Amino acid sequence: MKSLCSLLPASSSLFSLSAVGPVADRHSSLSNSLLPPPPPTSAAVDLSGGSSPAALLATERLVLRNHKLLRDLSTFAVGGPCSFFLEATRPSLLLSAARLAQARSLPLLVLGRGSNCLFSDQGFDGLVVLNRSVFGDEDDAGVQVVGPGRFRACSGYPFNRLGVRTAAEGWGGLEFAGGIPGTVGGATFMNAGADGQETAEVVESVEVVMRDGDFRVLTREEVRYGYRWSSLQEMDDMAAIVAVTFRLSPAPAARDRQRKFLAR
């Protein structure tokens, strides 16, 4: 299996950050924030804070915004502003975001499609990362076929699209996913399931970024699962799921089963 390092550019440097909106030297309190926030203005901000190159090893130019309303990121359409916001379109940005949050002591929240996420009107005083990561620019770049019946999917990839694709190609185990409105990372994190199936049954490994910026690959045996639960929820030192590899079984009738399930 590829490590995350193979997804990163070869060169590295200190973080080079652009921020949209007035940003304090560290991060501002939201205790007295008013809704809606003032219109953002452009400002170039260096948040490196004098940390060492080792602590701030970077591979991306991070484009941050502030006062992003969390209600725009949740299916409940409720929530105040966050201090900083980043949309991660590549796995390497998840790594960079984790290292930035660690270096600047910023609380970190990584979101998928915002299903069943209820936020406070007071917002979030930290860095919110919207995970839309894919492996490349080509069509369906969020999924790699790494062997017969083995699919490696970015955590930000829509879970329902993965379920539809694998069933259409004759692989069973994720037929239920065609009706799950979330991401691969979110489905794995909470062990999503339906129609007598659940995500845990077909997970082979989970690639994660830790809050200190390290990268780990967790095998199926290293992650415990229960009903709508996984031990990933108890890993306080984990920043984000980067990718998940699924091992599916040949199932010529998978597409028909999925259609019947979705028609209910």
Residues 163, 259, single domain; the answer is yes
User: Mean of the pLDDT values across residues 199-220?
Assistant: 96
The residue segments making up the domain with residue 178 are: 143-263
Neighbouring CB atoms inside 10 A of 89's CB total 16
Mean pLDDT of the chain: 80
Domain for residue 9, yes or no? no
Domain for residue 244, yes or no? yes
Domain for residue 44, yes or no? no
Give me the CATH number covering residue 225.
3.30.465.10
What's the confidence (pLDDT) of residue 264?
83
Residues 256, 150, single domain; the answer is yes
pLDDT grade, residue 213 (50/70/90)? Answer: confident
The structure's pTM equals: 0.77
3-class secondary-structure state, position 46: coil
CA 125 from centroid of its chain's CA atoms: 19
Residues 162, 101, single domain; the answer is no
Give me the CATH number covering residue 124.
3.30.43.10
Residues 152, 246, single domain; the answer is yes
For the packed helices 159-168 and 254-262, what is the interaxial angle rounded to 10 degrees?
A: 140
Q: Is the pLDDT of residue 24 over 80?
A: no
Residues 71, 151, single domain; the answer is no
**Distance in angstroms (rounded) separating the CA atoms of residues 207 and 189:** 12
3-class secondary-structure state, position 221: helix
Residues 126, 151, single domain; the answer is no
Domain for residue 14, yes or no? no
Residues 157, 216, single domain; the answer is yes
Dihedral pair phi/psi, residue 192, rounded to 5°: -65, 150
Q: Is the pLDDT of residue 11 over 80?
A: no
What's the confidence (pLDDT) of residue 45?
32
Residues 127, 214, single domain; the answer is no
Rounded to a whole number, what is the largest CA-CA distance in the chain? Answer: 58
Domain for residue 31, yes or no? no
Domain for residue 123, yes or no? yes
pLDDT grade, residue 60 (50/70/90)? Answer: low
